[in-house]
Amino acid sequence: MIPKPIPLRNEELFRLAMRHRSAAPNPVADSYERLEFFGDSVLGLVIAQYLYEHHPTWDQGMLSKAKSSVVQEAPLAEVAKKLGLDEFIEVGPSEEATGGRQRPSIMADVLEAIIGSVYLESGLEVARWFVLEQLHPYLLRISGGDVSPNDYKSKLQEVAQSFWRQSPIYRVVRETGVAHEKRFQVQVVFDNETIGEGEGRSKKEAEQDAARDALGVIDRFKRARAEAQHPFSQ
What amino acid occupies position 116?
G
d(CA 165, CA 227): 25
89-119 residue pLDDT tens: 999 998 888 887 888 889 999 999 999 999 9
Q: Which residue has the higher pLDDT, 60 or 162?
A: 60
Whole-prediction pTM: 0.74
Q: Angle 73-82/104-122 helices, nearest 10 degrees?
A: 70
CATH topology of domain 11-143: Ribonuclease iii, N-terminal Endonuclease Domain; Chain A (1.10.1520)
Q: What is the pLDDT of residue 158?
A: 83
State the sign of the Cα–Cα–Cα–Cα dihedral 215, 47, 75, 175: negative
- Give the Cα separation of 78 and 107 in Å (integer): 8
Helix (H, G, I), strand (E, B) or coil at 19: strand
What pLDDT, on the 0 to 100 scale, is given for residue 52? 96
Domain boundaries, the chain: 11-143, 152-229
Average pLDDT, the chain: 89
pLDDT-wise least confident of 34-38, 56-60, 151-155, 178-182 = 178-182
Quick one: pLDDT at residue 180?
Answer: 65
**At the topology level of CATH, where does 152-229 sit?**
Double Stranded RNA Binding Domain (3.30.160)
Q: Is the dihedral of CA 193, 198, 199, 200 positive or negative?
A: negative
Catalytic residues: 40, 112
- Mind listing the pLDDT tens digit for each residue in 156-211? 888 888 877 888 999 999 998 776 668 899 999 988 889 999 988 788 888 888 99
> Is the model's pLDDT at 234 over the cut of 60?
no
Question: Is the predicted pLDDT of residue 17 greater than 70, yes or no?
Answer: yes
pLDDT for residue 14 is more than 70: yes
- Evaluate if residue 232 carries a pLDDT over 70: no
For residue 160, what are the contacts with CB-CB under 8 A and spacing of at least 6?
166, 167, 168, 190
